[in-house]
Structure 1
Amino acid sequence: MTSDHPTPPTTAEQALDIVRSRFAEPRLPDGSRAELRVEEFDIGYLVYAVFPPVTDAAGRPQPAPPGGSKIVVSKETGETVTVPNYPTQAAIDLYRRQHG
């Protein structure tokens, strides 16, 4: 999904505001909002939700559910682009290859 924003962001907080204005906020299983983090890089801001680790009844870590995405906000245009829910650096690298 892509969209334009009239004012390109110059801070991580502005990038977060753009994402919040265009996308639904992710929720935790209890209905509370998931934490959103922003990673700034040379040509954009990567915005993603942080979910607590999933454990089984014995407390052993379980794999995260499949799917999801991260959002990149372009520093140049304010455009938002979704990228797969890859590890942070892999998501940034993918965006650079496609939009850099």
Structure 2
Amino acid sequence: MTVPPASAEEALAIVRSRYARPRLPDGSPVELRVEEFDIGYLVYAAFPPVTDIAGRPQPAPPGGSKVVVAKETGEIIAVPNYPTETAIALYRQQLQPRQA
């Protein structure tokens, strides 16, 4: 059983204990960020922007996910790698059938 997190740092520790840390192509670790909201913590990798040889920005590769750690239970649920607010809204939608 997971202990509910009391802070963003504890939520990050829960995620780190369950998932491998993402890495850049050179092997260096990617920064993990945490966005707190009323019922959870959204944890995600903050990859640097991708550029071409000329330094022009390129779209991010498809795929990936963000992880939500529930404040009440410590439960972890993966959501698609959408912008923060969209990912949080999707998490709320996923909870609705459980609460009904």
Which category describes the TM-score, using the shorter chain as reference length? over 0.9
Unaligned runs of 5+ in 1: none
SS of alignment partner, residue 78 of structure 1: coil
Map of 1:58 onto structure 2 = 54
Higher relative contact order (CA 8 A, sep 6+): 1
Map of 1:38 onto structure 2 = 34
Using structure 1 for the length normalisation, give the TM-score.
0.93
Using the alignment, how far apart are the partners of 2:95 and 2:43 within structure 1?
A: 16
Structure 1 stretches of 4+ moved >2 Å: none
Select the structure that is richer in helix: 2
RMSD: 0.9
Using the alignment, how far apart are the partners of 2:6 and 2:36 within structure 1?
A: 10
Using structure 2 for the length normalisation, give the TM-score.
0.93
How many percent identity over aligned positions?
Answer: 75
Using the alignment, how far apart are the partners of 1:12 and 1:23 within structure 2?
A: 16
Unaligned runs of 5+ in 2: none
How many residues align? The count is 96
